[in-house]
Amino acid sequence: MELFQPNANHSVLRGICHGIERESLRVTSDARLSQKLHPEKLGRSLTHPYITTDYSEALLEFITPVHCRIDDTLSFLEELHQYTCQHIDGELLWSGSMPPLLEGDDSIPIAQYGSSNIGLMKTVYREGLWHRYGKPMQTIAGIHYNFSLPEEFWDLLQQHSNETDVESRDFRSAGYFSLIRNFLRYSWLLMYLFGASPVVSRSFFADGGEQSGLQALDRDSLYLPYATSLRMSDMGYSNHAQSSLNICYNTLDEYVDSLSKAIRTPYPPYEAIGLKKEGEYLQLNTNLLQIENEYYSTIRPKRIARSGEKPVTALRNEGVEYVEVRCLDINPFEPLGLSEVDAHFLDVFLMYCSLQNGDSINSSECVEVSNNFKTAVMEGRRPGVELTQKGQPITLTSWGVQLLDEMAPIAELLDQANGSSMFMASLHAQKAKLDDVSLTPSAQLLKAIEAEGVGYIELMMSLSGKHARGFSEHNLSAERVSYFEQVAQRSIADQLAREGNDKKGFDEFLKDYMAAD
């Protein structure tokens, strides 16, 4: 901290960069999943840099460029929403993380990426997710927050460490892994503060939720009274299918090795599915993971890979470039899924994680970290709920207040460096949620359902419509419309070029990809 006091090196803090990926389902006016293809006006999801799809053809994903100013990141994200809402033919962007009304697997179309080898690989990967985990889980949406610290930050930190003889790339990677370990220790706090999915439609479950362990909220939906994020529970992206994976975050080499091993390790339940049926691929392989992205983690070390390069190869060769926070629910009350206040707090939180001692996580602490996260997810709003801190019980709220107090100097520094007051304001907003649980998004959602006398689906449709009207009331300039039209047209040309340039058949392409280091 003293490295940045009183005004020293503030330019380094202004070099923090951000990117946001926001997922959102296209839905019809009666809260059903869209059955339409990806809209032509949005270009091609395979090659568009900003508007793509995730698992389903109906699951849009908006990706901002990297910006140093949070306001710029959010402004670009808003433009993507505005442009998209003008070109989805009366459909709405679903405003929550848990899906709308589902009508069986046949109603969940898998995303299509064309006939190029890389496009086919993306579709087959999603076929594999269906056979391994079921289609409904792949309709869950979230927000990914990408965060990177400038090279000058790591240089400064290294100069004041006892590791000046370490390669700068290795020092940076070790620093990001320290950040990740601290994130894992404290991410339960994010679930309390930002969890916004305590409710799910009965249609999410094949049996209507009879075996889910959830309680009835209304005729069409289920909930847990003190839950913050069913999305991040065992029924969502923290699933039992990957419980045997032991992905290590203590060093980059261990992380890459453990992921690579999982991709190569045969797994009998997936072998039973088979690789192909009647000549069509059912999955990319029959191993524990098809590719790295299948590992559902709350945070990932990332590096932008070259075309055709595996993500783990890029990490191993060049080191960590940024981290991707993946545990954030979509806040249904926010048009963009998160607010400016939320984003500023995430910067404070991640800077705190980067500056704390990030000792290795041993097996016993690993269990403690996992249990704390699950407790916050399933019953984080229960009065007096306790977590475990270094083997000792502590209430969630008292530990949360302690952490926020420790983050205050960082928020002040970020405000000073950026000529802002938003970072401290974001801290105060989170402190208010710890003081009053009714201010949390999960509590606000349940409160709104009760206050408006509607069901969960009706409320979400109302919010989705409200946000759509807000986007339509603020038209993009002619210049920005022209820009996004050009990007869409370029994506179409780029996909056609890829499809015309493949020199291998898909079987050979996939074999070579899987065999590559």
Q: Contact at 8 Å (CB) between 177 and 254? A: no
372: which residues sit within 8 A by CB, 6+ positions away?
188, 387, 388
Name the residue ranges covered by the structural domains of the chain.
2-515
Distance between CA atoms of residues 424 and 348, nearest Å: 9
pTM of the model: 0.96
Helix, strand, or coil here: 410?
Answer: helix
- Whole-Å CA distances, 443 to 202, 204, 296, 447, 498: 20, 21, 26, 6, 47
Q: How far apart are the first and last CA of the chain?
A: 40
Helix, strand, or coil here: 282?
Answer: coil
pLDDT along the chain (517 residues), means of 10: 63 94 98 97 98 97 97 98 95 97 95 97 97 93 97 91 89 96 97 98 93 92 97 72 73 92 92 97 96 93 87 93 98 98 98 93 91 97 97 98 97 95 98 98 97 94 97 92 98 97 95 89
CATH of domain 2-515: 3.30.590.20
CA triple 357-360-363, angle to 5 deg? 140
326: which residues sit within 8 A by CB, 6+ positions away?
142, 144, 237, 296, 297, 298, 299, 300
Q: What b-and-e string marks burial along 352-384, b requiring 16 or more CB atoms within 10 Å of the CB?
A: bbbbbebeebeeebeebbeebbbbbbbebbeee
Specify the pLDDT at position 240.
56
CB neighbours of residue 475 within 10 Å: 11
Q: Contact at 8 Å (CB) between 353 and 345? A: no
User: At 72, which amino acid appears?
Assistant: D
**Locus of tokens 């076929």:** 127
DSSP calls for 29-66: TTSBBP-SPSPGGG--TTT-SSEEE-SBTTEEEEEPPP
Specify the pLDDT at position 517.
75
| Nearest CA-CA partner of 127 in 266, 294, 296, 298 | 294
Token pair belonging to 146:
């990408």
CB neighbours of residue 473 within 10 Å: 8
**Locus of tokens 């969940």:** 108
- Whole-Å CA distances, 15 to 148, 344, 417, 508: 9, 14, 10, 43
Distance between CA atoms of residues 52 and 42, nearest Å: 9
